[in-house]
Amino acid sequence: MKKPRSESPASVPGAAARAKARRRPTQRDIALATGLSQTAVSLVLNGVEPSSVSDDARQRIQQAAEKLGYVPNRMARNLQSARTRTLACIVPDLTNPTYPALIRGFQTAADAAGYDTMIFDTDGTPEREQRALQWLSQGHVDGVMAVFFHVAEAELKTATRGGTAVVRLESQRPRASRDFDKIYINNAAAAQAMTQALIRKGHQRIAMLSCAIGPGAERQRGYQAAMNEAGLKPQIVRAEDFTQADGARAMAALLKTGFEGSAVFAANDLLAIGAMSALVAFGRRIPDDVAVAGFDDIPLAQLLQPALTTVSRNELAIGRFAAELLVQRLDGPDAGRPGQGFERPFELVMRESA
């Protein structure tokens, strides 16, 4: 045997040898141990009803399985049945607390339906989102809830054409899709409502701290609509990404150029928190000198001093709802129905910061 010298994973000697050395028992081992057929073993261990295996055989098989510590090989089972009993969450950034909350809700519902949950963090970059797509297309999961910033609908459709159920979270009312469900909140309306609330509080010069990716555009749209409607001049400042550090940087830059507004509306809570720390560093009091509002209502928002005014989407409920949609599609009677769009409510949470 000539060993091909390749990058192929299987040619790594150590792991392959080790795997073989400590082989896990298979149905064949149980068949050999009991003197019955592998078919019978499969039938018994899967509890296929009505059972065509005698009680005696069944008992011997179960005992042998127990004794050998048999665990089914999912790769093999999945290859055969094309079902994995696993769902995935694909999110841009686990260190943004809004996503763990979403996943928490998802997992609760997936668990109740007997599905495992896998989580994939894309970092919100085009490259890693493509890796997530590739991973999806390899058939690891039966269904997925995905938050993508850079993936086109057609790409997602291609990646999941193997039959993977999809719920996509959108930042605006999406076009109807035959192929998968979509959940969205009206980000523009939410941002507009928050801006209007700030205006009602007497603010005239309100800057928006936003970001070009993800839901940033829609939230800017809502802000602009409210400002225009009130005859006020919009001022939008762009941060690199939706992180606290980027928010602090952008706010500091704005302050250095002589910011004279009385309020800042940030496109998410992390940006708002960054802005708050920059404001404090520049000696501005919140909310007396500058009011601050955010978006997401992450758990931390109410713990800040002052507590952050923000927009809540109830992520926990959205996650739960998404998992339930997937399970219905996979196990329910409406497996084949066309995709639907589901709008979820938002809520303004007025706290001390504005």
- Under the binding rule (CB under 7 A), the answer on residue 80 touching DNA is yes
Displacement of CA 142 from its chain's centroid (Å): 15
Chain residues 229-248 in contact with its own copies, contact rule CB under 8 A: 244
Out of 58, 62, 113, 121, name the contact with its own copies by CB under 8 A: 121
In contact, 309 and 292? CB cutoff 8 Å = yes
Chain residues 279-318 in contact with its own copies, contact rule CB under 8 A: 299-300, 303-305
Q: Rounded to the nearest whole angstrom, what is the least distance from the CB of residue 230 to its own copies in the complex?
A: 32
CA dist 276 and 280 (Å) reads 6
Cβ proximity to DNA, 69 vs 258, nearer residue? 69
Tell me which residue of 185, 206, 183 sits closest to 196, measured CA to CA: 206
Binding mask 50-79 for DNA (x = CB under 7 A): --xxx-xx------------x-xx--xx-x
Cβ proximity to DNA, 10 vs 21, nearer residue? 10
Cβ proximity to its own copies, 19 vs 176, nearer residue? 19
Stretch of 169-177, 213-221, 329-337, 343-351 lying at the interface with its own copies (CB under 8 A)? 329-337
CA dist 193 and 74 (Å) reads 49
Please report which helix (H) or strand (E) contains residue 286, including its range.
none
- Among its own copies, DNA, none, residue 38 binds (CB under 5-8 Å by kind): DNA
- Among its own copies, DNA, none, residue 196 binds (CB under 5-8 Å by kind): none
Provide Rg for the chain, Cα atoms: 26
DSSP for 305-346 reads SSPPBEEE--HHHHHHHHHHHHHHHHHSTTTTPPP-EEE---
- Under the binding rule (CB under 7 A), the answer on residue 17 touching DNA is no
Residue 175, token pair as written in the block: 């076009």
In contact, 130 and 145? CB cutoff 8 Å = no
Cis amide linkage into residue 174, ω under 30° from 0: no
- What residue type is assigned to position 148 of the chain? F
- Under the binding rule (CB under 8 A), the answer on residue 257 touching its own copies is no
Question: Residues interacting with DNA, by CB under 7 A?
Answer: 1, 3-4, 8, 10-11, 23-24, 26-28, 35-40, 42-43, 45-46, 48, 52-54, 56-57, 70, 72-73, 76-77, 79-81
